[in-house]
Amino acid sequence: MTRTVFITGAGRGIGLAVARAFAGAGDKVAAGYRTEPPPDGLFGVRCDVTDPDSIHEAIEQVEGQYGRIEVVVANAGITRDSLSPMMSDADFRDVLETNVLGAFRVAKLAIPGMLKARWGRIVFMSSVMGFLGSAGQTNYAASKSALLGLTRSLAWEMGSRNITVNAVVPGLIDTEMIKPITDKRRAELLSQTALGRIGTPDEVAAVVRFLAGAEAGYVTGAAIPVGGGLAMGL
Ligand code: NDP
């Protein structure tokens, strides 16, 4: 089954791995990017999730090229870390705007096509930090918990239309995003990770692909951990 798949934040990191995984399986992939287009001859579509017009244009471009979007992966995300007394409203707002409102907008604009098809898959990219909390990341952790409420509510709204909505919950994954983490914090997180190692973007991509596939037809409203055991049981 070849599907049209749209992934945000697919210029690098987890999003790029997800794009490659779907493309490798023969799907028609549109890799959304904000600054640098994706490598590899992937079909790149400019899409800034903080700009509704940009999302609208991106979706029109994808549907013009490949037809209705059947799978959407809202992956774009940012951090703006600092301890709460020092955190500006702007840093709090920017993280919520990108990570939550951006994800909501992308899903919302992809849904009409899925409703017509009476089939669809929506995957949000949460984080273990949304469960554990993290000093210096009140904004980020709040945004990633918010995605769980978004996932579950949308799963209720879309269930009768055969559209599943799930969240992937990565632990520590080897991308640009974790570069600023101190050695001490990294060691601390790894000591709480049953597998004792950092994960790879490909390991997250494999789970996203599963959730988007026919095999996951009865999985919705779920938060699937991909954290090597970090935050297990929460
Ligand atoms: P990266 O920083 O490597 O990638 C983030 C991507 O999001 C970049 O491509 C970036 O594009 C894009 N992006 C940021 N802001 C916007 C925007 N406004 N519009 C569109 N795209 C945007 O990090 P990861 O690959 O690790 O992160 C991917 C997702 O996984 C994020 O949601 C992150 O929170 C989540 N995650 C990551 C974990 C990890 O350990 N790495 C753990 C748990 C969750 P640009 O190049 O323009 O900046």
Phi/psi of residue 152, each to 5°?
-70, -40
Mean pLDDT for 206-210 is 98
Instruction: Return d(Cα 3, Cα 27) in angstroms, integer.
Output: 5
Instruction: Return d(Cα 173, Cα 217) in angstroms, integer.
Output: 27
The pick from 177, 192, 200, 230 for probing ligand 1's pocket by mutation, whose C-beta has the most ligand atoms within 8 angstroms, reads 177
Q: Give residue 201's pLDDT band: very low, low, confident or very high (50, 70, 90).
A: very high
Please give the distance, rounded to the nearest whole angstrom, from the Cα atom of residue 175 to the centre of ligand 1. 9
Q: Give residue 110's pLDDT band: very low, low, confident or very high (50, 70, 90).
A: very high
Strand partners, 173: 199
Task: Assign 117 to helix, strand or coil.
Answer: helix
Pairing of strands 223-226, 120-125: unpaired
Half-sphere exposure of 127 (CA within 13 A, CB side): 26
Please tell me the CATH code under which domain 4-223 is placed.
3.40.50.720
Neighbouring residues of 214: CB distance < 8 A, sequence distance ≥ 6: 1
Does ligand 1 come within 6 angstroms of the Cβ of 120?
no
CA of 98, closest atom in ligand 1? 18
CA of 176, closest atom in ligand 1? 3
Mean pLDDT for 157-166 is 98
Which pLDDT value is given to residue 57? 98
Point out the residues that are catalytic: 140
61 has pLDDT over 80: yes
Instruction: Return d(Cα 143, Cα 226) in angstroms, integer.
Output: 18
- Of 14, 95, 115, 116, the closest CA to residue 50 belongs to 95
Mean pLDDT for 123-127 is 98
Q: Is 198 exposed, middle or buried (0-12, 13-18, 19+ CB in 10 A)?
A: middle
Domain boundaries, the chain: 4-223
Instruction: Return d(Cα 221, Cα 52) in angstroms, integer.
Output: 25
Instruction: Return d(Cα 71, Cα 10) in angstroms, integer.
Output: 14
CA distances from 122 to 34, 166, 175, 192, 219 (A): 20, 6, 23, 30, 11
Does ligand 1 come within 6 angstroms of the Cβ of 137?
no
CA of 126, closest atom in ligand 1? 44
Which pLDDT value is given to residue 174? 98
